[in-house]
Amino acid sequence: MTCARIPTKYGDFQLCYYTNTLDKKEHLAFYMGDVSEADDVLVRIHSECFTGDVLGSRRCDCGEQLDRSLQMIANQGAGVLVYLRQEGRGIGLLQKLRAYNLQDQGHDTVDANLLLGHGADERSYSLAARILEDIGVKSVLLMTNNPLKISALEAEGIKVNKRVPLEAPVNSDNESYLLTKVQRMDHLLQFAPPSKPIKQRAL
């Protein structure tokens, strides 16, 4: 619909507002530099996490990943962050907070979602692909630890030339969450293998 200049601590970005016919959400693109008709564009597909992105929650690594991806784009001088409004791996903020309570009772992040009647991950990347097409990105270097995100984008016709790891610091509040992502959601993080007690891994 429109784009506007947003100055950040990493430099000036353009924030572009999208509407769509699939949901009523306000998906966004936040980009820097010449990315239209470009190959090997540094791209982050970030799903909204109010608690992590805005409040700085230490329960997950979203806020750190958001910040680091913007920093990496700025270092490169060009890149796109697509901000998808699919809170809590697609289950919404209310259900995510309920899932947090289940996690505090001992369930991991996957089981908590399942207990609430949701899938482990209900996110979709088709709108992200349409946004990248609209911007005119020809191929991407995807900042992610999630191989499923790469295959989902490729299935939507986006050429992913390389994965760029995006690791956030581990702390006592997010380590079990991150380990679950590795063990149950196929995420690629520099963690100890599952057989090794988490406390022994090198930070």
Active-site residue (options: 44, 89, 98, 123): 123
Stretch that binds Zn ion, among 58-66, 127-135, 140-148, 182-190 (CB under 5 A): 58-66
Which of 51/152 has CB closer to Zn ion? Answer: 51
Q: Does 62 bind Zn ion (CB under 5 A)?
A: yes
Residue in 121, 173, 184, 201 annotated catalytic: 121
CA of 183: how far to CAs of 17, 32, 178, 193, in Å?
A: 36, 35, 9, 9
| Residue 90 touching Zn ion (CB under 5 A) | no
Among 13, 27, 47, 52, binds Zn ion (CB under 5 A): 52
Cα angle 100-106-179, degrees, rounded to a multiple of 5: 80
Scored b (16 or more CB within 10 A) or e, 51-86 reads: bbbeeebbbbbbbbbbbbbbebbbeeeebbbbbbeb
Nearer to Zn ion, 40 or 67 (CB): 67
By rule CB under 5 A, what string of x and - marks binding of each residue 31-50 to Zn ion? ------------------x-
**Cα–Cα distances in angstroms (integers) from residue 101 to residues 20, 37, 70, 84, 116, in the given order:** 33, 46, 31, 24, 11
SS3 180: helix
Q: Which stretch binds Zn ion (CB under 5 A): 5-13, 51-59, 159-167, 190-198?
A: 51-59
Annotated catalytic sites, by residue?
121, 123
Where along the sequence are the contacts to Zn ion (CB under 5 A)? 49, 52, 60, 62
